[in-house]
Amino acid sequence: MNITKKDKVLFVDDEENILSSLKRALIREPFSQFFASSVSDALKILEENPDMAVVVSDLKMPEMYGLEFLKIVMENYPLTVRIVLSGFAELTTVLSALNTGKIYHFLTKPWKYEENFLPILLNAINYHKILIGRSHLLIEVQHLKKQNEQFREVVENVNELFDKDLEIFLENSIKINKKLRLINNGVLLPIANKMLQQIDEIIKKTTYIKNLIKKNKLLDKDNQ
């Protein structure tokens, strides 16, 4: 996936020398970079940039423990990918956070920039793009689902009205049929006989349509 300045990464570490080292290493990378030496500065940057793709945070910081900070990030910016900078002594804690889905990956200090740091960072940015795409897709699916429900409601209303009209039409056709049969004490004129045949045909077709509607309604209930 193409990575541009629109892709933002925030690095959080209370050690200025670590941040300086990161700035030098990342100077040629295409994504936008933000640096914070405290959790409060990091939260302010996130507030101003809620579309942050990745947050890379140290664990041991004086203001707040790294995993606590990343938990806040997860709760407030769920689509932001979270990475931990960790020393080997803290691997047990980090692996626990990794297994529970609180973080995407961890990077050990000292890191090898070309071998693991940069590849993991680029993968995290691309993973963020996937999360964004999935989020947009879910919103579109929900929108289509709502439209489908609205369409179903309209169809049900139309069917209900049509069903009522069909019932009235069928009743009137049967009444006309009966009246025609009583003409001249059962003696039918040729024109009356023709009308009766036409009405009988209408009644048959109307009854068929009515039964078909009922059948479709039963199928709809079974499919719900």
**Over its length of 224 residues, how does the chain's per-residue pLDDT go in tens digits?**
788 999 999 999 998 998 999 999 999 999 999 999 999 999 999 999 999 999 999 888 888 888 889 989 999 999 999 998 876 556 676 676 666 657 888 887 777 888 888 999 999 999 999 999 888 887 777 777 776 676 566 556 555 655 665 566 666 666 665 665 555 455 555 555 665 566 666 667 666 666 666 666 655 555 55
Distance CA 103, CA 79 (A): 12
Q: What is the value of pTM for the model shown?
A: 0.64
Task: Report yes or no: 7 and 52 within 8 Å, Cβ to Cβ.
Answer: no
Task: Tell the residue number behind the tokens 């995407």, with chain if given.
Answer: 104
Q: Which two tokens stand for residue 43?
A: 């939260």
Task: Report yes or no: 130 and 163 within 8 Å, Cβ to Cβ.
Answer: no
Nearest to 125 by CA among 82, 170, 168: 82
Report CA 176 to chain centroid distance, whole Å: 56
CATH 3.40.50.2300 fits 8-111, yes or no: yes
Residue length of the chain? 224
Task: Report yes or no: 176 and 199 within 8 Å, Cβ to Cβ.
Answer: yes
Task: Tell the residue number behind the tokens 């209408």, with chain if given.
Answer: 202
Task: Tell the residue number behind the tokens 């993968």, with chain if given.
Answer: 123
